[in-house]
Amino acid sequence: MKSLFSCVFFLATLTLRAQDGHSLWLQNKASKSVTVICTKKSPTLSIAIRELKDGWQGKADASCTLSIKKDKTIKSDGFKLSENAVEANTDKGILYGAYELLRRQQLQEAITGEVENPSYEIRILNHWDNPDGSVERGYAGNSIFWRSNDALVVTEQDKKLWQEYARANASVGINGTVLNNVNASPLILSADYLNRVKAIAEVLRPYGIKVYLSVKFSSPALLGKLKTSDPLDAEVIAWWKNKVKEIYSIIPDFGGLLVKASSEGQPGPQDFGRTHADGANMLADALKPYGGIVMWRAFVYSPNDKDRAKQAYNEFMPLDGKFSDNVIIQVKNGPIDFQPREPFSALFGAMKKTSVMPEFQITQEYLGHSIHLVFLSPMWEECLQSDTYQQGEGSTVARCTDGSIYNQTYTAIAGVANIGLDANWCGNDFAQANWYAFGRLAWNVNFKSAQIADEWLKLTFYNATSNETSATSYATEWTSNFLSPVKQMMLDSREAAVNYMTPLGLHHIMAANEHYGPQPWWAPEGTRADWTPPYYHRASKDGIGFNRTTTGSDAVGQYHEPLASQLNDPKTCPENLLLWFHHLPWNYNMKDGRILWDELCYRYDSGVQQVRSFQKTWDKAQSYVDSVRFKSVQQNLRLQCRNAILWKDACLLYFQRFSQLPIPYDIERPVHDLDDIIKNDRRNY
């Protein structure tokens, strides 16, 4: 029997057309005929009409009406759906409604006539793309926007790709994109580059997507040849005003500027004795006449502070109320830097007179690049639903940033993109789900990860035509054999990564440069301490963890009560953040009765076991996936498993030098030698 099944198994695979993943969640489905009625004309509406005609899966020979109204229940990009109609206040609203209608049809979900309004007004991608075409922390090939300084000419191929990019973003509600790295080159503001930005904006515009740029704060000096870039200097102010004017002359709907200032070596207002507010407001003034905004990043830290986790708060809180209303402070989800698990940044729910927006990282800088299968939606959901207690219980990060608690002039959310020239856009077919999920959560902060994974899997992998003899029974089989287990794998995947990388609140113990693989020992002499893992894990014979309680750095004091007290006590601090906030002895008693060292061992081991279970899940799904995507994901999972084992071995063997305790004997033994790992570094992967 087994062998018979196996033969069927392999044959079934052959019938699925090989795919390179380029079509994302926008698979071509057989459409039914529809008449689309729309009295108004615009490029955006034309797209909506074409999409409906190409993808209609409602009743055959139906007619669908698109209506622009002034409905007060509908906000900004929102819409109202019924089975055969989309209503909105804007063309963009119609387009989003059309995509939602098609999604509901494909997912065979009910359409009940409700209004859908987005949670955030600005739902924006940050591309860390450099003018030379490289992508900082990009793992999916070179930039889709930039090639090299000498190749700024726009080709038809460029436009086709940008259009596909725009369509994918529009289909999940993303309406803005920052085209270049926050570690910005001043060149981006030169005429040649702005011309290419103009071309990109023209392709993106009908899809409702505004373009933004990252700027280097010292551009006036570097590009404008001024003597200073002091934000209070009249010439500097004039230079920026002119530059902004130039931009809007060629891109009338330009979105605004993103600034990484006084951070990790980037210039900023503090170089001239000015504050973040001075710098941000100067730019905001230049942008204001055109409706542009400034997104000013709060990712700042200096080498000598006793706790890097506290610095953004310390620098920005005193400036609360000093920022112009078209400035938004862009805050990473956690206080350090996109680690597999962090508590939410205390800046969320802290400032009361300043607009704040979350910055998530879609590209997997610290989460296994595009090799590890890690569905990030649960991580973002965890952050958005974290309670800051700013105005009592229920003051979630989401509500502190989406305008529910404070009436921000602008609400926004940013995601650092994971997109490159790779055929499948994201390097790993499952990394596409993170792009998708970011869009969906930006649209509705209350979406659940399980629902998002469900949608994405159906849109991306379901192909009824692979078995035409009995579509219904195939759908049932597909749901139980593919959808359910693969969805569970996605939902478990982030916790697995936390387990094999940084369980129990550990953080920043990764390899120094690539941020891939473990290097908890890395601390070359002369390196600034807050760039080295031992600064964060503080392992010693006495114990492990960073004391951020009132007896330590008092980072807990940046949080509102009752959270601060809860975090301050190891007995009430969530165990998954224990070593973030506490330095505890190796024999500290965990809630399950184990000592801390043993618990750490079991967590690392469970991460490895989880990845192994993912491999089984995927291998069992083989007959439901085309061979190209199947093999690609399978290969990545194999490497992920080896990586997980290496993480476990490296961290446990390293920490064991301090704990002096054996790894519990029911756990699979290390297969690497610590000295070898340290010596070989990346060659072990």
Catalytic residues: 264, 337, 365
Told to check if 657 binds a second copy by CB under 8 A, we report no
Residue in 394, 473, 673, 680 binding a second copy, rule: CB under 8 A? 673
Nearer to a second copy, 468 or 666 (CB): 666
Told to check if 485 binds a second copy by CB under 8 A, we report no
Judged by DSSP in three states, 222 sits in helix
Burial class (CB in 10 A: 0-12, 13-18, 19+), 250: middle
Report residue 302 CA to chain centroid gap: 25
Told to check if 670 binds a second copy by CB under 8 A, we report yes
Q: How far apart are CA 520 and CA 525, in angstroms?
A: 15
Per-residue contact track with a second copy, 557 to 596, x per CB under 8 A? -----------------------------xx------xx-
Residue in 672, 678, 681, 685 binding a second copy, rule: CB under 8 A? 672
- Candidates 94-102, 157-165, 402-410, 656-664: pick the segment binding a second copy (CB under 8 A): 656-664
Told to check if 597 binds a second copy by CB under 8 A, we report yes
Told to check if 668 binds a second copy by CB under 8 A, we report yes
Told to check if 7 binds a second copy by CB under 8 A, we report yes
Nearer to a second copy, 385 or 606 (CB): 606
HEC-encoded secondary structure of 126-188: ECCECCCCCECCCCCCCCCCCCCCCCCCCCHHHHHHHHHHHHHHHHCCCCEEECCCCCCCHHH
Residue in 661, 678, 681, 685 binding a second copy, rule: CB under 8 A? 661
Q: What stretches of 205-310 show up as alpha helix (H) in DSSP?
A: 219-222, 234-250, 276-287
State the amino acid at position 423 in one-letter form.
Answer: A
In 3D space, the residue among 563, 290, 574 whose CA is nearest the CA of residue 400 turns out to be 563
Told to check if 12 binds a second copy by CB under 8 A, we report no
Residue in 470, 572, 671, 682 binding a second copy, rule: CB under 8 A? 671
Q: Least CB distance from residue 589 to a second copy, whole Å?
A: 10
Q: What are the phi and psi torsion angles at 61 (to 5°)? A: 60, 25
- Candidates 232-240, 262-270, 565-573, 608-616: pick the segment binding a second copy (CB under 8 A): 608-616
Burial class (CB in 10 A: 0-12, 13-18, 19+), 661: middle
Per-residue contact track with a second copy, 609 to 648, x per CB under 8 A? ---x--xx--xx-x------------x-xxx-xx--x---
Count of residues touching a second copy (by CB under 8 A): 37
Burial class (CB in 10 A: 0-12, 13-18, 19+), 469: exposed
Told to check if 538 binds a second copy by CB under 8 A, we report no
Neighbouring-strand partners of residue 595: 589
- Candidates 29-37, 163-171, 508-516, 663-671: pick the segment binding a second copy (CB under 8 A): 663-671
Nearer to a second copy, 35 or 587 (CB): 587
In 3D space, the residue among 171, 622, 562 whose CA is nearest the CA of residue 388 turns out to be 562
Q: How far apart are CA 306 and CA 548, in angstroms?
A: 10
Residue in 3, 108, 157, 304 binding a second copy, rule: CB under 8 A? 3
Nearer to a second copy, 180 or 659 (CB): 659
Burial class (CB in 10 A: 0-12, 13-18, 19+), 73: exposed
Told to check if 542 binds a second copy by CB under 8 A, we report no
CB of 442 within 8 A of CB of 415?
yes
Q: Least CB distance from residue 605 to a second copy, whole Å?
A: 12
Told to check if 663 binds a second copy by CB under 8 A, we report yes
Nearer to a second copy, 262 or 640 (CB): 640
Q: How far apart are CA 358 and CA 411, in angstroms?
A: 10
HEC-encoded secondary structure of 52-91: HHHHCCCCCCEEEEEEECCCCCCCCCCEEEECCEEEECCH
Nearer to a second copy, 560 or 642 (CB): 642
Q: Least CB distance from residue 486 to a second copy, whole Å?
A: 14
Nearer to a second copy, 7 or 191 (CB): 7
Q: What are the phi and psi torsion angles at 550 (to 5°)? A: -65, -20
- In the structure encoding, which two tokens stand for residue 622, read together? 């083989």
CB of 510 within 8 A of CB of 501?
yes
Told to check if 2 binds a second copy by CB under 8 A, we report yes
Nearer to a second copy, 356 or 637 (CB): 637
Can you point out the beta strands (E) in 280-381?
Answer: 293-297, 327-332, 355-361
User: Which residues neighbour 452 within 8 Å (Cβ) at sequence distance 6 or greater?
Assistant: 377, 433, 436, 437, 440, 441
Pairing mode of beta strands 122-126, 115-116: unpaired
- Candidates 31-39, 354-362, 531-539, 671-679: pick the segment binding a second copy (CB under 8 A): 671-679
Q: Least CB distance from residue 618 to a second copy, whole Å?
A: 8
Q: Least CB distance from residue 498 to a second copy, whole Å?
A: 20
Question: Which positions lie near a second copy, rule CB under 8 A?
Answer: 2-3, 6-7, 9-10, 586-587, 594-595, 597-598, 612, 615-616, 619-620, 622, 635, 637-639, 641-642, 645, 660-665, 668-673
